[in-house]
Amino acid sequence: MVWLAIVSFLAGAVLGVWFRVPVLLLAVILALAVVIAVGTTEASLSWIVLDVVLVATCLELGYIVGSILEPRLSVRKSMRYRRTAFGQRPAKTHRRSE
């Protein structure tokens, strides 16, 4: 159960850095569907409910932490200056004032 909490938290943090809230909602729904599907084959109802609460909580807390850390990370800023599909940097356009 600890690994489930850690993986959920880290996934939420990654989502918080890269995406906005609608993606979190989809991730929670997908994670809950997977937890329920796996839980019905291996666990009792009380463990399934506990796992569902754990996964949803850890995803959301991770998302909050990722959203807080996002401005402090240079990951998204550096992605704007990646090379184009042809291997060249995008041309800078300078306007001349006349």
Q: What is the residue type of 1?
A: M
Instruction: Count how many Cα atoms sit within 13 Å of the Cα of residue 33 in the half-sphere of its side chain.
Output: 6
Which tens digit of pLDDT belongs to each residue from 31-63?
Answer: 899 888 888 888 788 888 998 999 999 999 999
pLDDT score for 80 = 52
pLDDT score for 74 = 63
Predicted model pTM:
0.67
54 class by beta-carbon count within 10 Å (0-12 exposed, 13-18 middle, 19+ buried) = middle
